[in-house]
Amino acid sequence: MIKKNSWVQIKKVILNPEERAHNLPEATKKVPLLMWVKGYLLEDANIKDIVTVKTVTGRFESGELIEVNPAYLHTYGKFIPEIQLVDKMVKSALFGDDYNG
């Protein structure tokens, strides 16, 4: 059970495929337009319940509860070795072969 007033994220279908704009590329046309919003949960609920939240600007939005205390988990990604080759290339070009090792 997720308690009322918890900080959560919800997901909602804004437009179903048949309600979407005309002239969309095929891949976009066949999927719904989705929305994600964060806010404070108005009532106790469980993940996947349809709930209403109050956002930080005081608006109300309803949708499927998907996460509690949604975190920022984006990173610098996996290491890309090519970037180090760029370092070698530009340093050796400017400062000589010492940087080419």
Partner 1 sequence: MDNSYLSVMSRKNQIMQKSVGINYDQYESDYLNFDYEAMLSEGNFTIEEIRKIQNDFGVGNTPLKECKNIAALARKVSKPGYGARIFIKDEALNDSGSFKARRASISCYQAKKLGFKGVIAATSGNYGAAVASQAAKHGLKCIIVQECYDSFGIGQPEIIEKARACEAYGAEVVQLSVGPELFYKFLLLLEETGYFNASLYTPYGIMGIESLGQEIIEDCKIKTGKLPDMVVCTNAGGGNLTGTARGIIKSTDKKIEIVGSSVNLYGLHMADDNDFNKKSFTTGHTGFGLPFIINPDRSDVPRSAARALRYIDRYVTVNQGEVFFITEALSVLEGIERGPAGNTSLAAAFCLAQELKEDQIIIVQETEYTSAGKHHQAQLSFARENGICIYFGDPSDEIPGKSIVFPKSVDLIKAKDLDLVSIRKKYLQNQFSKTKVLSNKDLIFLAEETNTDINFVTEEAKKYDIKVEDAK
Using CB under 8 A as the criterion, which residues of the chain lie in contact with partner 1 when the complex forms? Answer: 11, 14-15, 19-21, 24-25, 27-28, 31-39, 55-59, 72, 74-80, 82-83, 85-87, 89-91, 93-94
* Minimum CB distance to partner 1 smaller for 28 or for 100: 28
Reported in sequence order, the residue ranges of 1-93 that DSSP labels E, i.e. its strands, are 7-15, 33-41, 50-54, 60-68
Instruction: Let me know: does 7 contact 51? Beta carbons within 8 Å.
Output: no
* Minimum CB distance to partner 1 smaller for 1 or for 94: 94
Cβ 39 to partner 1 shortest distance, Å: 8
Q: Cα torsion for 17, 18, 19, 25, to the nearest 10°?
A: 60
Cβ 6 to partner 1 shortest distance, Å: 16
CA distances from 46 to 32, 35, 66, 74 (A): 24, 19, 9, 25
* Minimum CB distance to partner 1 smaller for 50 or for 90: 90
* Minimum CB distance to partner 1 smaller for 1 or for 76: 76
